[in-house]
Amino acid sequence: MRKDKEIAFKMRKNGKSYNEIREALKIPKATLSGWFSEINWSKDIAKKLAASVQKQHTIRLIELDRIRGTHLKRAYEEAREEARKEMAELKYNPLFIAGLMLYWGEGDKSSIRNGVRIANTDPSLIKLYIFFLTRACKIPIERIKAHVLIYPDLDATKCIQYWAEASGLPESNFTKCTTIVGRHKTKRLGWGVCLVAVSSTYFKEKMLEWLKMFPSELMNKEYYESI
């Protein structure tokens, strides 16, 4: 047996991987595979090495999840704290209160992963809500996206043009329309339904915190008597 092959077998029996042997002895991996692939004890070592790698991979994933969880928890707490401070400053701002009322009635209040979304058929409502986002919440206009749900007999391009003009949101902020079919395939909404969204879990956490706070804030005697 050639000397390097003998050393390779000893290293393999000691639990070394193909890569470790290749690096140490400069033997091509294909050659090592030819030597070891049909040997039972080498197959057992391969299984143990694979299990060890999988275990280490799982440990890393758990650690990353733990780190992400800690960071997210801290970020969400920061969002709630920021929302509480802003509530104290903005609760006398009629635009802020109007925007919260709109979202309370029409917005998506489910999981924070869904972002901050609201849908309606009234262009004035949508325009006011976007005004609330940009002026009261300081959301950059490019972060606000829109989507239109239309019926089969409506023209998608014209609907987007209509909602862009009515809302003040650039057409470039609109994604492709989605066609929906109701019970009757006839026009019931002239321009479809406009959905406005801000994809931010941080902002969603703030919005949910505001919604928790503002009913009691508005009904506080000191608040309404000071207006």
Nearest to 107 by CA among 6, 7, 214, 207: 207
Burial class (CB in 10 A: 0-12, 13-18, 19+), 55: exposed
Q: Is the pLDDT of residue 57 over 50?
A: no
Structure tokens at 36: 């070891």
SS3 content of the chain, % helix, strand, coil (to 5): 65, 10, 25
Q: Is the pLDDT of residue 182 over 80?
A: no
% of the chain residues with pLDDT over 70: 86
Q: How far is CA 165 from each of CA 122, 148, 150, rounded to the nearest angstrom?
A: 13, 13, 17
pLDDT the model gives residue 54: 52
Burial class (CB in 10 A: 0-12, 13-18, 19+), 172: exposed
Residue type, 177: C
- Over the range 192-207, which residues count as b (16 or more CB within 10 Å of their CB) and which as e? bbbbbbbebbebbbbb
pLDDT the model gives residue 7: 86
Q: Is the pLDDT of residue 213 over 90?
A: yes
Q: How many helices (H) and strands (E) does the chain have?
A: 9, 4
Alpha-helical segments (H) within 91-174 = 94-106, 123-131, 156-167
% of the chain residues with pLDDT over 90: 44
For 31-53, write each residue's pLDDT tens digit: 888 888 778 878 788 777 767 75
pLDDT the model gives residue 183: 54
pLDDT the model gives residue 61: 46
Question: pLDDT averaged over the chain?
Answer: 84
More confident residue, 3 or 189: 3
Domain ranges of the chain: 90-226
How many of the other CB atoms lie within 10 Å of CB of 138? 8
pTM for the full model?
A: 0.66
For 59-97, write each residue's pLDDT tens digit: 544 554 455 566 778 888 888 999 999 998 888 899 999
172-191 mean pLDDT: 78
Q: Is the pLDDT of residue 121 over 90?
A: yes
For 3-17, write each residue's pLDDT tens digit: 788 888 888 888 888
Distance CA(84)–CA(78), nearest Å, equals 10
